[in-house]
Structure 1
Amino acid sequence: MDIEARKSELMSTYYFRHATKEFDSTKKISETDFNFILEAGRLSPSSGGNEPWKFVVVQSPEFRKELAPLVSGAVRSLPTSSHFVLILARKGLTFDSPYLFQQQTKVKGMPVEVYQSMQQAYAQFYEELHLTTERELLDWSSKQTYLAMGNMMTAAAHIGIDSCPIEGFDLDAVNELLAEKGLLGNDEFSLSVITAFGYRANEPKRSKTRRPMEEIAQFV
């Protein structure tokens, strides 16, 4: 496939995608296709390759019923979606945290002595980004979860599967429920964003609308 054909195919994917509020509950995403979507999330970029996320796929009808009163932005998508994903952000990801050490030396294969020699650079990086409080560290991780979510939604659209990003939820209440179910580890995670996947029940009422390029891109 030449480059123009590749560009056309990708643009078709973006034009296909829309925020699907209600799904056809009779249609389910195959295990193979959903693993493809999850893999797009797993391979997403993150600062330092730290992967500060966790994907909780809620398929249990009972669990969904418990979530229902806590996610006002998913009134139609929660009960109808094929797959409902809670994307969690890692908390307390300081430059000297055990997780970061394990991620860099075990997962990414950085020699321990190299990691140790970079501690001053890591500290400076955190200082320059004002990553000092628990809230700032969580916000930093949460920003990166949106990279994974965007890639998962694009991957889904690329194979004809719909999705909807969701921010309408009671954060404290959902976190409490997740903690009760042992899904936050040792208080290591917090809910960041939700994404529903499935097949649209209805076609969009209008074509995709966006501001013109000249209003949003500036070359200097």
Structure 2
Amino acid sequence: MSNCQIVKLMTNRYSARVFDETFQVPKSVLESLLESVRLSPSAYGALNYRVLVFPRSKTRSELNPIFGNQNNFVTASEIILFVADRWSKVESQTVDKTIDLMFPDSQDSFKKQIYANNFHQRYDGLYKNNPQLGDEWSAKQVYIALGVGLVAAESLGLDSCPLGGFDEKACTKWLQTKGLIAQDEMAVIALAIGKASPHPKKAKIRQPMAEFAKIIN
């Protein structure tokens, strides 16, 4: 993709407020989007988040009140809900899982130890006694993946809208009650995808480039 194509892609992208309820995201397109999100970067390559996909269904309708019955949540073809590990899980499980997948060879024990030492030296002092800050670190990795998902959706011809205005604690509790996530996981943000209902588009408002970016030599 050329530079001008990327700029055009983001110039044309708008957050959908209402989706066409007759449109269903094709399975192959959804799989491509999810694969793009799966390949997103994260700090230290940590595998500390996953997604739950909710098509239009009775199950998703139970979440409507938690999301304030927003039109884009109700009408989207799919809702991709990002779930992150709490810091307690990152320390007890996620680091080891990441290391095992990153260094699958039994000969890599030295590399595994280096990774573990670097990770814990970097973060234990910051979050060991303040796990809430560790939870926030984990959630930040999700936002990287969300950004990738937004660009990927546009490149696949889908409209989208990030949904952060919901009761995260209530959503987390609902997911745990349904057995969809563990006690040491949390709902972070959602991405609604589909085809937007036709509506007039306003001019995109952003900071002038001269104010937005400064190159420091």
Structure 2 length as normaliser, TM-score? 0.90
Query: Cα offset for 1:172?
Result: 1.6
| Mapping 1:119-138, distance limit 5 Å | 119-127=116-124, 130-132=126-128, 133-138=130-135
Q: Is the 8 A contact 1:10 1:158 kept in 2?
A: no
Query: Cα offset for 1:136?
Result: 1.2
How many Å separate the matches in 2 of 1:215 and 1:160? 31
Say which of 98, 119, 122 aligns to 2:93. 98
Query: Cα offset for 1:159?
Result: 2.1
Question: Is 2:181 the counterpart of 1:191?
Answer: no
- CA RMSD across the alignment: 2.0
| Alpha-carbon distance change, 55 to 95 in structure 1, aligned in 2, over 3 angstroms | closer
Q: Is the 8 A contact 2:99 2:115 kept in 1?
A: no
Residue equivalent to 1:88: 83
Structure 1 length as normaliser, TM-score? 0.89
How many Å separate the matches in 2 of 1:204 and 1:10? 23
Q: Is the 8 A contact 1:93 1:99 kept in 2?
A: no
Residue equivalent to 1:26: 22
| Mapping 1:1-220, distance limit 5 Å | 6-59=2-55, 61-72=57-68, 75-92=70-87, 96-109=91-104, 111-127=108-124, 130-132=126-128, 133-185=130-182, 187-220=183-216
Unaligned runs of 5+ in 1: none
Query: Cα offset for 1:119?
Result: 4.0
Q: In the TM superposition, what whole-angstrom CA distance separates every residue of 1:83-142 from its partner, at most 9, and x where no partner exists?
A: 1111111112677533211211234437233222444432321156x2232211111111
| Alpha-carbon distance change, 118 to 11 in structure 1, aligned in 2, over 3 angstroms | closer
Query: Cα offset for 1:179?
Result: 0.4
Identical pairs, percent: 27
How many Å separate the matches in 2 of 1:165 and 1:159? 16
3-state DSSP of counterpart to 1:209? coil
How many Å separate the matches in 2 of 1:204 and 1:22? 12
Query: Cα offset for 1:11?
Result: 1.4
